Amino acid sequence: TRLRRKVYEHVSRQVEPGGRILELNAGTGIDAVALAQRGYKIHATDIAPDMLARARDKVEQFGLQEQVSVQECSYKQLNKIRTAPFDAVLSNFGGLNCIPDLSVVIEQMPGVLRPGGTVTWVLMPPVCLWEMAEVLRGKFRLAFRRFARNGVRSHLEGLHFTVYYFSPRRTIDWFGNDYELLELEGLSVITPISQNKLLAKRYPRLYASLAWLDDRLSKRPPWWGWGDFYIISMRYKPKQP
């Protein structure tokens, strides 16, 4: 899909081919397989055994056992990972939006990420223009749900959880002085969000125009924080003692 392609292109700008990537919330292994096919070595982690079983099946199906390893591990317990340090830590499509405070994960980065390594996370911001436009259709709850102080209840494959939304500025502040911003890019700022796939099929020319505009605005403030997601890459630069 367009969104995944943009994520992979973003990763390729920040991590050299052959780099070792720790993936958090890897799910069924879609991204692990795709990135391995692009020359990366992936250690895919998740806490859902069913998801990991499907990830292992994908790895075997594509013959990527040498490029992809899989481990059941929570992003809250990264000390269990024995193959660190990595060149990058990746979490895609809001996998970390299910905790209210990203510092819980960030404080573990020195244990799994080499100095000079990259953190690339795809997160959901509190402002999404396409969702807010739903107010025109009378869907007020959907239009403003991301502004809920205590998050929004959601579910995926039978699991219920709370989703929290973080602005790019808040995320950068959480990282603190040991990290520097490399790149920030909005996803689905002007193009429809992933739940609205009909527009591209019904109006391909309009969609192409929106995609063209999206590509030109998504890396500029404040647009980069107004999409369905944003990709943020931070470089780990610990200060010398």
Residue found by looking up tokens 């780990």 in the block? 236
Instruction: Determine the structural domain holding residue 195 and report its residue range.
Output: 2-236
Residue found by looking up tokens 């070595």 in the block? 41
pLDDT tens-digit series, residues 133-171: 999 999 999 999 999 989 998 877 667 889 999 999 999
Residue 241 resides in a domain: no
Q: In angstroms, rounded to a whole number, what is the distance separating the alpha carbons of residues 19 and 38?
A: 10
Is it the case that residue 194 has pLDDT exceeding 70? yes
Residue 85 resides in a domain: yes
Q: Which CATH number fits the domain that encloses residue 76?
A: 3.40.50.150
pLDDT tens-digit series, residues 8-58: 999 999 999 999 999 999 999 999 999 999 999 999 999 999 999 999 999
Domain count, the chain: 1
Residue 191 resides in a domain: yes
Let me know the angle formed at the C-alpha of 232 by 169 and 5, rounded to the nearest 5 degrees.
145
Q: In angstroms, rounded to a whole number, what is the distance separating the alpha carbons of residues 226 and 221?
A: 9
Is it the case that residue 5 has pLDDT exceeding 90? yes
Q: What is the pLDDT of residue 195?
A: 66
pLDDT tens-digit series, residues 200-226: 888 999 999 999 999 999 999 999 999
User: Which spans in the chain are helix H?
Assistant: 2-14, 30-37, 49-61, 103-106, 109-112, 129-132, 140-144, 168-175, 198-202, 204-217
